[in-house]
Structure 1
């Protein structure tokens, strides 16, 4: 039906080549490379006795902690409206199984959304993002897309918003979220707001608005601990469902799917969730330090892309940049670079920098865009700790060296292929 996830596949291949001796810079995979917070490791060990299956939706203490997390963000929540899972990805898949209709997605978007829709037997309907940000469809284009989809026999009923966004590293301003919520209300759409990067705002005072604050009766919010706390391999995700009959019906459908797919979040990780979502001081301090680090390095990569001649939205959240090398189309074409695939291949083979080509994210294959995941630049565990503590992490030698290689790869794009200087000498 579909191919394996391209970011996971490409990152694995790049790491294999690095292990074989190629000094490649890996910007392919959105993993928050951070050391495990010691208090989280202590909770994991303390929860080892929780060996029974437990409730499918999650243990009472964990669901209560997640409800409190949302309440502190302006969303009063009953723990009964929370479902936990081994990561937010299976929750998103279960939502596709539990809700009816085809799914409206921003273009470009995280590469998992569209395959999940297809696995559920539905149609992904991509709508271009506005100029100001990624993660949400342009409201005007969305209205037109809904009309055309219905005329073609499709049934658009779900609208996915990514706040903040992967792949562009930006988030929609409040006025735009309000406009999209109005469209959802007028067209009777269920909103799925993927807010796993909410706690990775580069400016903690930036105005963030969730659609669940405007149309709570039709918004499901998903989140998790992989991006804010760097424990992606532990797989802790959560969803908040609307109160009322519609929300309860969707929640019940997700719980039914969960009971047949993953049964429940592992007991020790329920204990981690109960601790982390309660946000004690150790967690708040780590999340703030991580957001500062992510912002500093993402801005450094953005500066190098724009200095090389690319257009690129300034990153405001997460750890991504999404440059567009359209201004250099003519000189790039002289070297056989005519779209995102050839651009990514050239950067890898002649610059030693691996990125995720835009067409793998649903973007126009002819566009000269790619995603760069900047969180892979932080080094090993000790280097990550140094980066978290540094006033200017981009000045640390291990990060500065990789930034210099990225700068060279970007600036050499129009100079011809030349020899591949990144392979291991034989």
Structure 2
């Protein structure tokens, strides 16, 4: 008789590591007087007009399922919003799908396009879910590293060097999480040349598109010849301060959106109805709130980068999102050790850079989506901690 305990977990599920971001967030919530610069979430509450629109939809009885792809009215507004802001136009009838956050849109996109064993180029440092999502979709993530010397901007020749006969797609995130790096139009054009040459797809995560500070944002779909090759991912969490609403979207070639919708039908059915009505209001009348939040983020970014440099920490100026990614190499500590000791000794929660990939080792991610008062105090605590180390 076989007495060995049988495992009921899949090998894939067993091998995937839990999110390093959530680990430090969970640790921080168990302590008093902690300033959290960890989770990538606006400190603003959702604008009241959006909340009110959602309440009103409930009062009007909109509590049933929507179409699998989302409310047609919302898809029309998404199409209009992208056309007016980023000069890309999609048919709301068959090129737009509303999802449960941008994360689900990424998952759907990968599952819709990947065959077992096909490769996806993942540019690090990057959002923690990209490589696991590729693996869960049956693909193989191929990592390309960026460096602070290039402001964490990927070079076209790096992408080309990673391409094999099995390469299917490249995931691009600009502005980037965790580095805040924004790719300029001319840099996207150079990447697009490689994409075209090798007949690849691009999954372009543009969730931080509205939050750019010094240069205009360019959508990858707006690059000549790239609309037919791009699955554009975005949502309402970051710019509209709607993280808990869990609402995102994807736009792209109609055959890919159709495949994503089929998977969506069987796994989710549709995104929450009340959240979709809130998103309608956000797109129609949310720009003033977005601009106010953006102005505040720019002020905070400038404050934090200057404070870090005054402390003696190297940090590039991020072009977008709400993160800085400073180097802590001078302390001699690993990213993990630095974050653990900083939390324990000074009660400041940051995310170790290595959770975003190997090229993040020696860095930490600090979110400046918190008040200037909290940021000022956190910089004082980091300064004190740094000078104890060096």
Q: How far did residue 138 of structure 1 move? A: 2.2
- Are 1:407 and 2:377 counterparts? no
Residue equivalent to 1:26: 36
Which runs of 5 or more structure 1 residues have no equivalent in the other structure? 242-246, 379-393, 418-426
Aligned to 2:258: 252
Q: How has the CA–CA distance of structure 1 residues 64 and 140 changed in structure 2, closer, same or farther, with 3 Å as cutoff? A: same
In structure 2, the partner of 1:237 is 248
User: How far, CA to CA, are the matches of 1:226 and 1:324 in structure 2?
Assistant: 28
Are the counterparts in 2 of residues 65 and 275 from structure 1 also a CA contact under 8 Å? no
Partner SS state of residue 210, structure 2: helix
Rate the CA distance shift 1:405–1:52 in 2: closer, same or farther, 3 A. Answer: closer
Query: Is the partner of 2:121 in helix, strand or coil?
Result: strand
Residue by residue, what CA displacement relative to the aligned partner does 1:335-370 show, whole Å, maximum 9, x if unpaired?
xx2x211122222222321111111001347x3101
Other-structure match for 1:212: 221
Q: Report the count of equivalent residues.
A: 366
* Residues 291-306 of structure 1 aligned to structure 2 (within 5 Å): 291-306=294-309
Q: Distance in 2 between matches of 1:133 and 1:219?
A: 24
Query: Residue by residue, what CA displacement relative to the aligned partner does 1:271-299 show, whole Å, maximum 9, x if unpaired?
Result: 12222223x2xx11100010111121122
1:14 aligns with 2:28: yes
Cα contact 1:94–1:257 (8 A) shared by 2: yes
- Residue 414 of structure 1, CA deviation: 4.0
Counterpart check, 1:264 vs 2:270: yes
User: CA shift at 1:325, angstroms?
Assistant: 2.5
C-alpha deviation, 1:188, in angstroms: 1.1
Change beyond 3 A, Cα 1:23–1:360 = same
Which of 110, 117, 122 is equivalent to 2:139?
122
Kindly report which structure 2 residues correspond to 1:233-382, keeping only aligned pairs within 5 A, or say none.
233-241=244-252, 247-278=253-284, 280=285, 283-326=286-329, 328=330, 332-333=331-332, 337=333, 339-364=334-359, 367-375=361-369, 377-378=370-371
Corresponding position of 2:76: 64
Distance in 1 (CA, whole Å) between partners of 2:265 and 2:282 is 24
Contact 2:160–2:194 (CA under 8 A) maintained in structure 1: yes
Secondary structure class of the residue paired with 1:103: strand
Contact 1:323–1:369 (CA<8 Å) still a contact in 2?
yes
SS state at 2:239 partner:
helix
State whether residues 133 and 171 of structure 1, in contact with CA within 8 Å, keep that contact through their aligned partners in structure 2: no
CA shift for structure 1 position 60: 1.0
Alpha-carbon offset, residue 307 of structure 1: 2.0
Partner SS, residue 142 of structure 1 = helix
How big is the shift at 1:310? 2.2
Give, in angstroms, the shift of residue 186 of structure 1.
0.7
Matched, 1:183 2:166: no
Secondary structure of the equivalent of 1:175?
A: helix
Q: Indicate yes or no: 2:149 matched with 1:137.
A: no
* Counterpart residue number, 2:56: 46
- Contact kept, 8 Å, 1:351 with 1:408, in 2: the verdict is yes
SS at match of 1:223: strand
Match in the other structure for 2:91 = 78
Deviation of residue 309 (structure 1)? 2.2
8 Å CA contact 2:35, 2:349 repeated in 1:
yes
Residue 267 of structure 1: how far off its partner (Å) = 1.5
Query: What residue number does 1:195 align with?
Result: 206
CA distance in 2, matches of 1:211, 1:83: 18
Q: 1:120 to 1:307 in 2, by over 3 A?
A: same
Looking at structure 2, the residues matched to 239 and 133 of structure 1 have their Cα atoms a distance apart, in angstroms, of 28
Change (3 A) 1:408 1:273: closer
Q: What is the CA-CA distance between 1:208 and the residue it aligns to?
A: 2.1
**Under a length normalisation based on structure 2, what TM-score does the superposition of the two structures give?**
0.89
Cα displacement string for residues 373-402 of structure 1 (whole angstroms, at most 9, x for unaligned residues): 111x23xxxxxxxxxxxxxxx3xxxx1x54
Partners of 1:346 and 1:12 in 2: how far apart? 15
CA distance in 2, matches of 1:290, 1:235: 19
RMSD: 1.8
In 2, the alpha carbon distance for the partners of 1:47 and 1:133 equals: 45
SS at structure 1 position matched to 2:88: coil
